[in-house]
Homo-oligomer: A and B are copies of this chain.
Amino acid sequence: MPPAKRKATHQLTKQHNRDLVLKTIFENETISRAEIARITKLTRTTVSDVVAGLLSGGLVKEVGFGSSIGGKPSILLSLEADSRYLIGLNLAQNKFIGAVVNLRGQIKETAEIPVPDGDGQQALKSVYEILDKLVKTNWKPLVGIGVGAPGLINTRQGIVVNAVNLNWQDLPLARLLHERYDLPVSVLNDSQATAIGEFVYGDHNSDGNLIVVNVRHGIGAGILINGRIFQGDGGGAGEIGHVLAQEDGLLCRCGRRGCLETIASAQAVLQRAQSLSSVSEFPTLDAIETRFLANDPIARKTVLEAGHSLGRSLGSLVGALNIRKIVLAGDMTCFGQPWLDSVQQAMTRAALGRMAQETELEIGKLDYAACILGASAHLLLDGYSLLFGSEN
């Protein structure tokens, strides 16, 4: 084989081995070289070589001795969580929130800014403003920016295809941010980012498949299959909020009628409560929460009916995918167990008994941070090259 190709192949193998070792270290609190060799099926020599590189790069540290059966005790390795930092952005809340996170997903510093109303240019400026602030902090080196944005996203091209609330259409966000900050950038749908965040950091004990449903102003899901986010052919996988749930239902912001969002989202609950009572009685979701806890009949009715509609939709997902763990995230989770029960009950009624019974439904643990953590973790999903900067 020609020298150039041989070199390329050799380089690829090296990267592959390094990623494999690093992934194994990521996935364990502490681990010995021998254990890494056993798990990765690499030779001990290869593992030692790779680890030497990681130690000298500061990504990994030796943290003590483990027990060993006979022979000398083995040295334990651990990820140096604060050797690199990532920025994660959540653009799907009622304010933009950004954070610097370390390699273990610990948030070191956050920044937030109100969302400008429907002004696309201003929204982009706000993104710059929040990032300008975060890149100037002392958390260094920064190795990438991950963005969770609402709407339909083309992640491969880094384009926000359509985000109604921000008034962005075909915005090449990844390119703009890369040009401004000279860092790798990943852009994905906020519900997909939330799903990755819950999967990686939410401690949900999933084998690799997980559905996370984000129920807030709108409704979106993120679906992990074999440990990877599934985006579908057009990036829109998880867009369950705009599936028809009620014939001739209310008008949705997408222009059609009866979408799931119009009956099961936080916005739908607010509007329904207001229409059954008055805006002054239920000015905000917080007001509904307060009244819900006080057993107000209108608050309970609207919230539990919304849960029921959501559950029925989840029944379709269970039937189609037979993924046994579904995590609910977003504002509506503030209604806790009673709401969760209504979702569960309707879901069980809507899917084949056996499959529904095996499905665990739970509330996410990370709140708005799931999106930030997931967006930043997504930067590392295809390998860890960016942790190594120019040396690669």
Contact = CB atoms under 8 A, between A and B. Distances in A.
Interface of A: 1, 5, 9, 41, 43-45, 152, 162, 207, 209, 221, 223, 225, 230-240, 242-244, 254-256, 312-313, 315-317, 319-325, 349-355, 358
A289 B353 CA distance: 34
> Which of A230, A243, A323: most chain B Cβ within 10 A?
A243
A195 B2 CA distance: 42
> Which of A5, A9, A244, A313: most chain B Cβ within 10 A?
A244
A253 to B, nearest CB: 11
Contact of A236 (B230, B233, B244, B322): B322
Contacts of A320: 221, 223, 237-240, 243, 316-317, 320-321
Nearest to A316: B316
B233 A315 contact: no
Contacts of A207: 233
Contact of A319 (B44, B233, B243, B312): B243
Contacts of A316: 240, 243, 313, 316-317, 320
26 contacts: A1-B43, A207-B233, A209-B232, A221-B320, A225-B230, A230-B321, A231-B322, A232-B321, A233-B323, A234-B322, A234-B355, A234-B358, A237-B320, A237-B321, A237-B322, A238-B320, A239-B319, A240-B319, A240-B320, A242-B351, A243-B316, A243-B350, A244-B351, A256-B349, A313-B316, A320-B320
A315 B240 CA distance: 10
B319 A242 contact: yes
A354 B221 CA distance: 17
A232 B9 contact: no
A1 B41 CA distance: 11
Given A234-B358, A358-B234, A239 B352 contact: yes
A239 B351 CA distance: 9
A36 to B, nearest CB: 14
Contacts of A322: 231-239
A127 B315 CA distance: 34
A355 B244 contact: no
Closest 8 A-B residue pairs measured CB to CB?
A232-B322, A243-B319, A242-B352, A236-B322, A244-B350, A233-B324, A316-B316, A237-B322
Given A243-B319, A244-B351, 19 more contacts: A152-B354, A207-B233, A230-B321, A232-B322, A233-B358, A234-B355, A235-B322, A237-B320, A237-B321, A238-B320, A239-B322, A239-B355, A240-B316, A240-B320, A242-B351, A244-B312, A244-B350, A313-B316, A316-B316
